[in-house]
A and B are shown apart, each in its own frame.
Chain A
Amino acid sequence: MDPSTASEPERVRLLGLGNELLADDAFGLLVAEKVAARMPELDVVRSSESGFALLDPLTGVSRVIIADTIQTGNAPPGTLYFFDVSELAASPAGAPHGAGIREVLALGRALGLPVAKEVWIVAVEAADCATLGGTMHPAVAAAVPAAVEWILAAARGLRRPDSARPARSPR
């Protein structure tokens, strides 16, 4: 099915973002794998792509839950954030190369594509996302189970980001 032309309004998708080769950046993929094992009926997409390539996994369902890493530098590694995409700072208009999730969503909406109406983000504060073959920081690894539990509850419709926020959002 072509996700950019079809919409199943009630569907929820988990999108695990990251790169398993780059130390802490494996977090989103690892979390997605563990959620998929616990909830086989959930639509789970794992992706190492970025920018406008993310238009596809953000399209065709009503709600997307994203698992990713974040580097605010303002919290210790392993700190979990749960927030709605509207709380996320967009890529600056002048980002040299990137396109942010908010920008991708805005583009999709402007073009009338069936992009997700709600996007929730579960992100962990990462220590290192640039060392090839690097190992995950113990505190980041330790945050995996809590992220998995939160996503399982959220996917079952039991929680929203604003009702379960053990940590502050990055803004």
Chain B
Amino acid sequence: MAATTTHKITIDPVTRLEGHGRIEIILNDEGNVDRAYFQVPELRGFEKFAQGRPAEDMPQITSRICGVCPTAHHMASTKALDALYQVEPPPAGKKIRELIYCTFMVEDHALHFYFLGGPDFIVGPQAPAAERNVLGVIAKVGVETGQKVIAMRRKLRDLIALAGGKPGHPVFGLPGGVARPLSKEDQQQFRSVAAEAVEFGQFSLDAFRKLVLQNSEYVDLIRSDAFTHRTYYMGLVDSQNRLNFYDGVIRVVDPEGKPFASFTAAQYLDYIAERVEPWSYMKFCFLKPVGWKGFTDGPESGVYAVAPLARLNAAEKLATPLAQQAAEEYFATLGRPVHHTLANHWARLIELLYAAERMKELAEDPEITDPNIRTIPTATPREGIGVVEAPRGTLIHHYVTDARGIIQKANMIVATQNNAARISLSVEKAARALVSGKNVSEGLLNMVEMSFRAYDPCLGCATHSLPGSMPLWIEVRSHQGERMAVLRRDSDGSIHRE
């Protein structure tokens, strides 16, 4: 390579509050795309940070790692403590946890669909960049719908606060159960909001049908090759292989949709391996039994996906009737398994409806107000692994402690790490389709963003820094680091070349 000239293009979307992702595109000497990479600024120092702390503090501490999904970290950590202390929560304890968790999932999925993914699918991929934002969404769906989303969110958050502590600092999970029982009055509130949430889920799916499915251009885009990868899919399922966000076994299906593996959280290291690339500080997960074959799809490659699309593929069915019906329509339209990345938005709405229906089931369960909510741990701790489905995919916490419960070793696999290799595939495909020579197509920005948002990657759990001045830029550099061209998009959507 010494004699050839390579050029590097970097796309750096700096988000205001959630860190930033970076895309690097390396051109060969003909000016065509050689490789493209997706990177996130991974949090550093988790293991060192955890060492020496009492494991019992971890559900509180880890919930503060991420400003986006504190409830997911809190729950994964609490379940790791169950395993660490070898304690099984009583039925009411488990049900209260799952009820709060489903409430959180409804809220998170709703916000994503309307306000974060909405610019692509509600406003539309062809709309001018300046309209592809939250105001464009409101203009399209109407103020009333926007208010409905905000009102729903408020009620869901109030429920989380009621049963679980402040949504930003959940405190309900304890090893062996939860901190407080659910009163009859609490139950009544959950029942009433859950019924509304189910209606809201149906309303949102109807909106999706009208805005997206009735528009053949959108459907063609979803099905287009640029957004399609035939990979493995992972998700948590119950004993009947039905989707579950809170508990179960991790199920993996192959690119044909056939069952490939089922394993418990405790076995995760036999199935999930991490790969470090010299050019990235990001760890890329792959399926250990398949092996790493590079950034490529197909049955020979250990690349897999998590999050809504993957979860629906990995589960045989959904446990609630309306969501199951919606899933059948989804698979009838797109085939099974669904390999189209942009279908994540549709899958997310089906999951929203599932979470709402599951909330309703749990809220109506007479056992949920049982005061027996905790099994007090008595065993000597040694090692514990916990898993949940975070909104953005499978989340694993793993602690090893001494006999006093002081952490010696800790590991965490977050959703975006599971998806990182597939996100890189998507970026590369978009880049190959659009980049030729040093003339970077402005369409690349749009394509890449659409891939990003479908995965809903969490770009660095919880960096709160305000942004610099340049929201999105592509930089072309020679191998000597000389800046050759810059394409910049400002916050108002305008694009400038320098």
Contacts and interface: CB of A to CB of B under 8 A. Distances in A.
B463 A25 contact: yes
A157 interface: no
Given A51-B111, A92-B13, A107-B134, A123 B462 contact: no
B463 to A, nearest CB: 4
Given A52-B111, A52-B115, A111-B150, A96 B449 contact: yes
B221 interface: no
A53 B67 contact: yes
A98 B18 contact: yes
Contacts of A2: 154
Nearest to A46: B168
A79 B54 CA distance: 37
Which DSSP category, helix, strand, loop or mixed, fits chain B's interface? Answer: loop
A32 interface: no
Interface stretch (B44-52, B175-183, B248-256, B267-275): B44-52
A133 B48 contact: yes
A97 B115 contact: no
A170 to B, nearest CB: 6
Interface string A58-82: 0000000000111111100000000
Nearest to A83: B466
Contacts, number: 224
A22 B67 CA distance: 12
Contact of A112 (B68, B132, B147, B452): B147
Interface in B416-432: none
B259 interface: no
A123 B150 contact: no
Interface string B151-163: 0011001000000
Counting chain B CB atoms within 10 Å of each CB, which of A20, A54, A107 scores highest?
A: A107
B228 to A, nearest CB: 20
A97 B463 contact: no
Chain B interface category by residue count = 35 or more
B43 A70 contact: no
B136 to A, nearest CB: 8
Nearest to B53: A133
Interface string A133-158: 11000000000000000000000000
B142 to A, nearest CB: 10
Interface of A: 2, 4, 17-22, 25, 28, 47-56, 68-74, 88-103, 106-107, 110-113, 121, 123, 126, 129-134, 170-171
19 contacts: A19-B462, A25-B464, A51-B18, A68-B465, A72-B468, A89-B490, A91-B15, A91-B467, A92-B490, A93-B130, A93-B136, A94-B449, A97-B452, A97-B453, A100-B16, A107-B135, A132-B46, A132-B49, A134-B44
Interface pairs A-B: 6 shortest CB-CB: A98-B15, A96-B452, A92-B471, A100-B16, A50-B17, A94-B449
Given A89-B491, A93-B136, A98-B15, 14 more contacts: A19-B462, A19-B463, A21-B49, A21-B61, A48-B67, A48-B464, A88-B467, A89-B467, A93-B132, A93-B493, A94-B472, A99-B16, A101-B17, A170-B469
